[in-house]
Amino acid sequence: MTNAPLPLIAGNWKMNGLHNESMALVHELAELHMGLGPKPVDVVLCPPFTLLGEIAAYLSATKLLVGAQDCSPLENGAHTGDISAAMLRNTGCACSIVGHSERRRDHGESNGLVKAKATSLLANKLTAIICIGETEEERDGGKTLDVVTEQLAGSLPAGAASSNVVIAYEPVWAIGTGRTPTSDEIAEVHGRIRELLYEQFDYDGYAMRIVYGGSVTPENAGEILRVKNVNGALVGGASLKAETFWPIVTAAPIPASAVAHP
């Protein structure tokens, strides 16, 4: 008996969002979420650090979740500019993205560092959304499955389980470009990730969510979210406006035997 995961739609605002416009967006999303009724889908907003506390407080009475875009692997101390997982938990975050390709690119983050960040998140009872994905050159060179296999093996923390880890497959060449893999290409990579998770976690590997990210829009969300082993989406550009983010949330199909994650 396999447990079908509850879909997760996460909005990664990246380095966007000043106070007033962001709070207006959050207010609009909270109203839309109330109108969604009991539809079982997890929705996470990942604003910049500067807005986490206020947005988490504002949403605390709702079922909308708040996540960070990154966290330090360290617990505390003399690390100027860094934000720890304990601090994220303290602001009301439920999760954090780690290993986004923009951080791997801009800050030289390795799989080992991503794993250390995820380890710290789990130690602080937060969910780690771990991003992996190939570059265009790697895809053209036929290395996609090798790259995601290596990134997954190197980034997963000890103690990972379906309740505390989400894998985000984000082909680097699809992020912010308007280009997406075909459904078959997405199915191939998600299928491989599922196999690897099953090998490592047995049946819990079926319940671990694998979300797709990279140029998800209201136009393509319905098709992408129905691809086998796609359990949601990590949305960048389209998450910055309610009129483009919400249709992606409502496009998420509900599995027959959805398993709620805490």
User: CA 102, 106, 107, 109 torsion: positive or negative?
Assistant: positive
- By CB under 6 A, is residue 170 in contact with ligand PGA? yes
- By CB under 6 A, is residue 215 in contact with ligand PGA? yes
CA 188 to CA 100: how far, in whole Å? 21
CA 262 to CA 71: how far, in whole Å? 21
Residue in 33, 102, 170, 190 annotated catalytic:
170
Which amino acid appears at position 24 of this protein?
A
- By CB under 6 A, is residue 216 in contact with ligand PGA? yes
**Smallest gap, in angstroms, from Cβ of residue 222 to ligand PGA?**
16
Site string for ligand PGA, 178-197 (x = CB under 6 A): --------------------
Query: Exposure pattern of 118-136 as b/e (b: 16+ CB <10 Å)?
Result: bbbbbebebbbbbbbbbbe
Cα radius of gyration (the chain): 17
Distance of CA 45 to the CA centre of its chain: 10
- By CB under 6 A, is residue 152 in contact with ligand PGA? no
Candidate ranges 51-59, 110-118, 136-144, 236-244; the one touching ligand PGA (CB under 6 A): 236-244
- By CB under 6 A, is residue 213 in contact with ligand PGA? yes
**Smallest gap, in angstroms, from Cβ of residue 238 to ligand PGA?**
6
- By CB under 6 A, is residue 47 in contact with ligand PGA? no
- Is 100 an active-site residue? yes
Site string for ligand PGA, 14-33 (x = CB under 6 A): --------------------
Q: Which of 121, 214, 246, 248 is the binder for ligand PGA (CB under 6 A)?
A: 214
Alpha-carbon distances of 72 from 37, 88, 127, 137, rounded to whole Å: 36, 10, 14, 29
Residue 240 DSSP class? G
CA 126 to CA 120: how far, in whole Å? 9
CA 95 to CA 113: how far, in whole Å? 17
Candidate ranges 21-29, 68-76, 212-220, 245-253; the one touching ligand PGA (CB under 6 A): 212-220
Q: Which of 64, 118, 234, 248 is the binder for ligand PGA (CB under 6 A)?
A: 234
The nearer residue to ligand PGA, 66 or 205, going by C-beta atoms, is 66
- Is 33 an active-site residue? no
CA 16 to CA 30: how far, in whole Å? 19
Binding site for ligand PGA (CB under 6 A): 12, 170, 175-176, 213-216, 234-238
